Structure 1
Amino acid sequence: MRYADTYIGGVGTYLPRTVVSVEKAVAKGWYPAEEADLHQLGGAAVAGDTPAPEMALHAARSALKRSGRAPGDLGLLLYASTWHQGPDGWPPHSYLQRHLVGGDALATEIRQGCNGMFIALQLAAGHLHADPARPAALLVAADNYGTPLMDRWRMGPGYIGGDAAAALVLTKEPGFARLASVCTTTVTEAEELHRGSEPLFPPGVTVGRKMSFAARNDQFRRQVMPTGEATAALFSIQRALEEVVEQLLAESGIQAADLTQVAFMNYSREIVEQRCMALLDLPMSRSTWDYGRTIGHCGAADQVLSLDHLLITGRLGPGDHLLMLGTGPGVTVSGAVIEIIDTPQWL
């Protein structure tokens, strides 16, 4: 969907200082050597015992400071997560409300997997434009995968899990970037891809069952659906990516060749190249894979982490366009086009 007068006023991130290399993971027996050769990943950011909401708070404070906004300007707080955030039954966005935003803003958590920030962008843009009195919204994503029921090195096919947080301040007044378009579609026939043959009840975490998308994906292909149906569902995901990209480019008034950079999920080289860059007929040099491979797949924060990195390293400037693209359980396919209109004041 195209949004008029919707801007990004600030970006903030939190990356742990500790990055565990793939070489170390292979030496320790955590990560298969054959996968290291195949996927060419570099390592994963590891937060240790730093809680995800604490990382989210750091990223949110940075984004708000960079935007020049006060907490009282925020009319909405959206917190995207993919993994457990703290005590069960406790909402993590309340932590940011207490320590940063205050209690007046509408706040909620978004559980849309790795596409949570795209859903947050759509919801926030609509919320802001529904009422002239709502000047800004804070969007945050954070995860720490270092828990007993998650193995970051075997999380999914073609990726390893990294810990991080990222935040955006979305405004109706001009910022350094404009949200040109954002959209999402769902491939319902692939719903079982991230569920596999695991029962719906009792929930796995309540009985101490480890979570592995790699195992569920394998079950989907070999046990859940006949081979032909599984293959058709996977093709549907790729078609959905094509359709989302076509809509985003059309609404933004640009061609794929006009894209300065493309931020896909922090996956393996072959996945980023085959699913994303080949679709756009663009070289890998325009992707953020070279950065993403060093920190791991950081849940819903990947694309915003890449945006911040591109700005800091000078790979995005006024007049440039960034395509952010991703997939999530459901299966959802989402994307956004960001136009840089000014050099951020914090650079």
Structure 2
Amino acid sequence: MRWENVYVAGLGAYLPEQVQTAEEAVALGLYDAEESVGNGIRAVRVANDEEAPPVMAAAAARRAIDRSGHQDQDFGLLLHASIGHQGQEFWTPANYVQNETIGGRGTALEIKQGSNGGLAAVELAASYLSARPSETAALVTVADAFKPPYFDRWASDNQQVYGDGAGALVLSKRGGFARLLSTASLTDATLEPVYRGVTGWTPAPFAEGKPVDLRSRKRDYLLRHEDAYEQTINQMTVNAGQVLQEALDDADTKLADTQHFVHANIAESIATYSFYMTLGIDRATTTYDWGQDIGHCGGADQLLGLNHLVESGRVKAGDKIVTMGVGVGFMWTVAVLEIESVPSW
């Protein structure tokens, strides 16, 4: 989708101060030493008991709002994305973030699309603003804290190490430091069983009192026949290439003509194959070296990466940024942005 007059006006991030390194996790018996080498994640941020995901989201949002120059009454929409537990059962974290930030009676909704939640929310927010002439701004927040005993950040999944944190982004029709040129999304629901597994249903979260076991679910699916793994990887690769090309075409640009690429803080082996080898991305154009000290923060990775690009002074006017997400389901979203001016922050 090609967008007209939709801008990124503000970005914000919140990362807990507490750090746990991969080396410490290996020494404590929490993390396999061989996996540590292959995954390449050096450290993660760990939220304390008071840093529930919506609390972190609100902190990131306040910074993004302040940087955007928008007033609370400008916001007609808030979308909050997450993967895991949000600090309480049977409640609506999006409304908590709304009450702690912009207030008002605008629409507040929760997005559940795994690690693609942040970028999926950005595309939905752009659609909302474009469809409603009276609306000026939309706020997107993403936050997660992968805490025991429900989730084991070092062992619940393979080729993923999960860190805690939150990102926020303000979309505006009034203007901003970056223009949203295009977005594209693609869903392939035939891959939905990869993370559901084949063992049946559970009656409630944490029903067996054991941490979430994503490894077994993926293994059961990918070993169902001898070609399943290769077929799944090929299917994902084709889908990723298709959605990337669609976004680039709608932005009237080529990948070689962009200056920055922001992807998730995934295992180094996956990043190398999926982005640097298959797509020909230059690692130096990414935020991955920084992300290796953050870990995979779910759907917040892309917003955190964009925030880091700007805060670290790596962007200049005229630069084009491609950011790509993929989430269980499976869903891919790509956004292409162009820097209009370098913000003071």
TM-score, with length taken from structure 1: 0.95
Would you say the 8 A contact 1:242–1:279 is kept in 2?
A: no
- Percent identity between matched residues is 36
Deviation at 1:218, TM superposition (A): 1.4
Hey, what's the Cα distance between the residues in 2 that align with 1:306 and 1:29?
A: 30
Deviation at 1:278, TM superposition (A): 2.1
Which residue type is aligned with residue 3 of structure 1? W
Would you say the 8 A contact 1:48–1:146 is kept in 2?
A: no
What is residue 82 of structure 1 aligned with on the other side? 83
Show the 5 A alignment for 1:234-245.
Answer: 234-245=233-244
The structure-2 alpha-carbon separation of the partners of 1:326 and 1:228, relative to structure 1 and needing over 3 Å to count, comes to: same
Which residue type is aligned with residue 54 of structure 1? V
Would you say the 8 A contact 2:116–2:327 is kept in 1?
A: yes
Hey, what's the Cα distance between the residues in 1 that align with 2:282 and 2:308?
A: 19
Hey, what's the Cα distance between the residues in 1 that align with 2:270 and 2:43?
A: 17
Hey, what's the Cα distance between the residues in 1 that align with 2:340 and 2:279?
A: 23
Deviation at 1:209, TM superposition (A): 4.2
Deviation at 1:204, TM superposition (A): 4.2
What is residue 53 of structure 1 aligned with on the other side? 54
What is residue 18 of structure 1 aligned with on the other side? 18
Structure 1 residue runs of 5 or longer lacking an equivalent are none
What is residue 192 of structure 2 aligned with on the other side? 191
Which residue type is aligned with residue 139 of structure 1? V
Hey, what's the Cα distance between the residues in 1 that align with 2:92 and 2:148?
A: 19
Which residue type is aligned with residue 6 of structure 1? V
Would you say the 8 A contact 2:44–2:295 is kept in 1?
A: yes
Which residue type is aligned with residue 337 of structure 2? I
Which residue type is aligned with residue 63 of structure 1? A
What is residue 316 of structure 2 aligned with on the other side? 317
What is residue 111 of structure 1 aligned with on the other side? 112
Which residue type is aligned with residue 126 of structure 1? S
Would you say the 8 A contact 1:163–1:298 is kept in 2?
A: yes
Deviation at 1:302, TM superposition (A): 0.1
Which residue type is aligned with residue 85 of structure 2? H
Would you say the 8 A contact 1:85–1:92 is kept in 2?
A: yes
Which shows bigger deviation, 170-179 or 151-160?
151-160
What is residue 143 of structure 2 aligned with on the other side? 142
Would you say the 8 A contact 1:277–1:287 is kept in 2?
A: no
Counting helix residues as a fraction of each chain, which structure ranks higher? 1
Would you say the 8 A contact 1:177–1:339 is kept in 2?
A: yes
Would you say the 8 A contact 1:77–1:139 is kept in 2?
A: yes
TM-score, with length taken from structure 2: 0.96
What is residue 7 of structure 2 aligned with on the other side? 7
Which residue type is aligned with residue 95 of structure 1? Y
Would you say the 8 A contact 2:77–2:138 is kept in 1?
A: yes
Deviation at 1:207, TM superposition (A): 4.2
Show the 5 A alignment for 1:250-289.
Answer: 250-289=249-288
The structure-2 alpha-carbon separation of the partners of 1:130 and 1:266, relative to structure 1 and needing over 3 Å to count, comes to: same
What is residue 225 of structure 2 aligned with on the other side? 226
Which residue type is aligned with residue 109 of structure 1? E
Which residue type is aligned with residue 24 of structure 1? E
Show the 5 A alignment for 1:64-83.
Answer: 64-83=65-84
Would you say the 8 A contact 1:136–1:169 is kept in 2?
A: yes
Query: Is 1:161 matched up with 2:162?
Result: yes
Q: Aligned to 1:88, what secondary structure does the other structure show?
A: coil
Deviation at 1:145, TM superposition (A): 0.8
Show the 5 A alignment for 1:284-303.
Answer: 284-303=283-302
What is residue 214 of structure 1 aligned with on the other side? 215
Query: Is 1:43 matched up with 2:40?
Result: no
Q: Aligned to 1:167, what secondary structure does the other structure show?
A: strand
Hey, what's the Cα distance between the residues in 1 that align with 2:271 and 2:170?
A: 27
Deviation at 1:116, TM superposition (A): 0.7
Hey, what's the Cα distance between the residues in 2 that align with 1:157 and 1:248?
A: 30
Which residue type is aligned with residue 279 of structure 1? T
Which shows bigger deviation, 185-194 or 12-21?
185-194
- Once the two structures are superposed, residues 130-161 of structure 1 have per-residue CA deviations (whole angstroms, 9 ceiling, x without a partner) of 12110000000001111311000113222201
How many residues end up aligned between the 2 structures?
A: 344
- Once the two structures are superposed, residues 86-113 of structure 1 have per-residue CA deviations (whole angstroms, 9 ceiling, x without a partner) of 2211000111222222231100111111
Which residue type is aligned with residue 285 of structure 2? R
What is residue 133 of structure 2 aligned with on the other side? 132
What is residue 182 of structure 1 aligned with on the other side? 183
Hey, what's the Cα distance between the residues in 1 that align with 2:115 and 2:99?
A: 26
Which shows bigger deviation, 180-189 or 54-63?
180-189
Hey, what's the Cα distance between the residues in 2 that align with 1:55 and 1:194?
A: 27
